[in-house]
Amino acid sequence: MTFSIAGQVGDAFGVAVASKFPFVGAVVPAARLGVGAVATQAMARVSYRDTALEALAGGADAHGAVTACTQPDDGREHRQLGVVGVDSQATFTGSECMDWAGGVSGREATGGYAIQGNILTGRDVVEAMEHAWLASSGGSLTDRLLAALLAGDAAGGDSRGRQGAALYAVAPGAGYDGYGVLADVRVDDHPQAPQELARLLVVNDLLFGTAEEVLPLTGALAEEVGSRLAALGHPVVDTGGDGAVGRALESWASEANYEMRMSPDGIDTKVLAALRAETADLRREGQAGPPG
């Protein structure tokens, strides 16, 4: 009923999944900092997530984690499981999973991956996912997981259609408050779930990512940003000294939930793009100052 990829990029681990099954994100993916990532599916056994992660944390490799889950389980032939550990990976497909069912796993310089699916349109779904994962080498974990998922969907995906999708990933110091959750995004019920997941991941990055490319708030850019902020009800107030535009920017950012991307050195380019997008209609009406 599902296709997924568990992957690793350095010390980041995560899972992306899509299915003709609602709320798939509540069932399939799990990941733990410093340990690994797990995807349980087909006649999914949710307890596999904890069992596999505990096995990895206790020193087992990915194959040992699969064994820890499947050996005591009489229903294992109906299930699928993908596991990626710090230095190992494995995928398991029970003999009674519904066709097409299968998986592939491998390792590259930055880490391992495990791809699996059942009730798929064909083997080419898994092959397309592996190709996309390998072709995106050098990208971030979330970008690579998403690329693989979208490739699988484009190749046919779940033969019954689309409904749910999710991506869960962890990395040290990532996410809100630096807690380590890089992404926890779910599409519970949508006719184009993988594409909606892609849209939401852009929002997730904007809200929970940190400042990347920062431009100094000087000259024409400072004038533009100040004008756009004023159009949104956050005027630049000169209280003496430097930083008046920056203070107005912080006021708007706290309202828009962009605090994670604030920088004392200027404005993050993704925040600037969001500001320009939000004031595009106002600019057409002649209210938002010079163009960007």
User: pLDDT tens-digit profile of 41-51?
Assistant: 999 999 999 99
* Final residue in a domain of this structure, among 208, 242, 268: 208
Q: Is residue 292 part of a domain?
A: no
| Identity of residue 146 | L
Q: What percent of the chain has pLDDT over 90?
A: 92
Please give the tally of structural domains in the chain: 2
Residues 143 and 276 in one domain: no
**Structural domain of residue 252, as residue ranges?**
214-284
Note the pLDDT of residue 238.
80
- Whether residue 62 is found in the same domain as residue 163: yes
Same domain, 167 and 246: no
pTM score, whole prediction? 0.91
Please state, rounded to an integer, the average pLDDT across all residues of the chain: 94
Is residue 246 in a domain?
yes
Q: What is the per-residue pLDDT for 292?
A: 44
Whether 291 is in a domain gets the answer no
Residues 82-139: pLDDT tens digits? 999 999 999 999 999 999 999 999 999 999 999 999 999 999 999 999 999 999 999 9
Beta bridge partners of 14: 7, 169
Q: Are 186 and 258 in a shared domain? A: no
Residues 204 and 236 in one domain: no
Cβ–Cβ under 8 Å, residues 162 and 20 = yes
Residue 125 lies in a domain: yes
The count of C-alpha atoms lying within 13 angstroms of the C-alpha of 272, restricted to the half-sphere facing its C-beta, is: 22
Give the mean pLDDT of 179-200: 97
Is 174 found in the same domain as 267?
no
* Domain co-membership, 197 together with 228: no
Check if the beta carbon of residue 101 is closer than 8 Å to that of residue 119: yes
* Together in a domain, 144 and 56: yes
Helices 141-154 and 193-208: crossing angle in degrees, nearest 10, is: 170
135 and 260, same domain (yes or no)? no
Query: Is 144 domain-assigned?
Result: yes
Flag whether pLDDT at 290 surpasses 70: no
Q: What is the pLDDT of residues 167-183, one digit of tens each?
A: 999 999 999 989 999 99
180 & 89 share domain: yes
The residue among 208, 231, 259 that closes a domain is 208
In this prediction, residue 283 carries a pLDDT of: 55
* pLDDT-based confidence at residue 282 (cuts at 50, 70, 90): confident
pLDDT tens-digit map of 200-215: 999 999 999 999 999 9
DSSP at 3: E
Q: What is the DSSP string of 172-228?
A: TT-SGGG-SEEEEEEE-S-TTHHHHHHHHHHHHHHHHSPP-SEE---HHHHHHHHHH
Residue with tokens 């984690």: 65
pLDDT tens digits, one per residue of 19-40: 999 999 999 999 999 999 999 9
| Helices (H) then strands (E): counts for the chain | 9, 12
CA distance to 84, 101, 127, per residue, from 104 (Å): 12, 11, 8
Q: What is the model's pLDDT at position 291? A: 45
